[in-house]
Amino acid sequence: WGEEGHETVGQIAQNFLQPDIARKVANLFQDKSFGGKLPLATLWADDVKKKKGSPFAFWSAPLHFIDTLDDPGKSCSVNMERDCPDARCIVGAIANYTTQLDCTNGYDKFTRDFALRFLAHFIGDITQPLHVSGREKGGNGETVTFDGRRGNLHSIWDTQMVEKRLRDFGSDIVQYSNFLTKEIQSGKYASEKDSWVSCISSPKAATLCPLTWAIDTNAINCPFVWSVDKKPGVDLGGDYYQAAVPIIDKQIAKGGYRLGVLLNSILSKNC
């Protein structure tokens, strides 16, 4: 996701943090970074990826996605042996940083700070369908038109469609986040929200959750995201965008809820 998507994920997650956990989150960020809150922290992994000379730039870029070697249009799947054999992908990254954040595993405060920053970003990215697709570099190589402008399918999903959706909320991330938070608590996601986070109560959460979440996201590619195949040249700002809105809402809601519930779980331990 672009900045708006990530910040919304962070804002929703912050809404679900228990008060004692919100205090622990604020204390984990060294030097009072990000105002001690998740929304700005979610942007850090993209900032350091882009920053020239950043020690994170080289190795962190592939951790934002998994290039699944499936065949969307025909069949969609995630297979760790096939798609991420060295764990240098978003699924492996979430597993590693979940383990590093857990105080029972003994990592130092700097490692845990970075683990929290990366988790806050990657738990958002893993809900973006094209971050769980290997086709055309996750759609970066697929030229499309959106509201009269040429672009690529990946950036349409990361940014253009989210910005267009946000305009329904006066381009106010807090308004959009509060809307999705209500839908999770008592609206159209209330009955399914438990299924979004059921992996978190497993003793194998660190490895089980990212794979579960990748499979969940990847399944959207076949029936919908890559259906652009069947209508070459069509402007995606029309019917395609209208059909994408409920998917974007739900994926961003999932990212926010999962991040909040995962942090409530990991950080509830006392060391």
124 binds, among Zn ion, ligand DCM, none (CB under 5 to 8 A by kind): none
Among 71-79, 189-197, 200-208, 240-248, which window interacts with ligand DCM (CB under 6 A)?
200-208
Binding flag, residue 205, ligand DCM (CB under 6 A):
yes
Residues 24, 38, 44, 83: which binds ligand DCM (CB under 6 A)?
Answer: 44
Tell me the per-residue interface mask from 37 to 66 with Zn ion, x by CB under 5 A, - otherwise. Answer: ---------------------------x--
Residue nearest to Zn ion (CB): 64
Provide the minimum distance between the beta carbon of 199 and ligand DCM in the complex, in angstroms, as a whole number. 9
Among 15-23, 94-102, 162-170, 190-198, which window interacts with ligand DCM (CB under 6 A)?
94-102
Residues 158, 217, 236, 244: which binds Zn ion (CB under 5 A)?
Answer: 158
Binding flag, residue 265, ligand DCM (CB under 6 A):
yes
Binding flag, residue 266, ligand DCM (CB under 6 A):
yes
Residue nearest to ligand DCM (CB): 138
Burial class (CB in 10 A: 0-12, 13-18, 19+), 140: middle
Q: 145 φ, ψ to 5°?
A: -115, 135
DSSP three-state, residue 228: helix
Binding flag, residue 77, ligand DCM (CB under 6 A):
no
Angle 26-27-29 (CA atoms, 0-180°, nearest 5)? 75
Query: Whole-angstrom Cα distance, residue 47 to residue 245?
Result: 27
Identify which of 156, 137, 138 has the alpha carbon closest to the alpha carbon of residue 244.
156
Give all strands (DSSP E) within 134-252, no chain letters. 143-146, 149-152
DSSP three-state, residue 88: coil
Q: Do the Cβ atoms of 214 and 90 come closer than 8 Å? A: yes
Query: Whole-angstrom Cα distance, residue 225 to residue 134?
Result: 13
Q: Do the Cβ atoms of 124 and 1 come closer than 8 Å? A: yes
Q: Which two tokens stand for residue 135?
A: 């086709």
Strands 149-152 and 143-146: antiparallel
Residues 9, 25, 65, 225: which binds ligand DCM (CB under 6 A)?
Answer: 65
Binding flag, residue 99, ligand DCM (CB under 6 A):
yes
Q: Do the Cβ atoms of 173 and 166 come closer than 8 Å? A: yes
Name the residue nearer to Zn ion (CB basis): 126 or 263. Answer: 126
Provide the minimum distance between the beta carbon of 187 and ligand DCM in the complex, in angstroms, as a whole number. 28
Positions touching Zn ion (CB under 5 A) are 64, 125, 158
Positions touching ligand DCM (CB under 6 A) are 30-31, 33, 40, 44, 47-48, 61, 64-65, 67, 98-99, 102, 105, 130-131, 137-138, 140, 154, 158, 203-206, 265-266
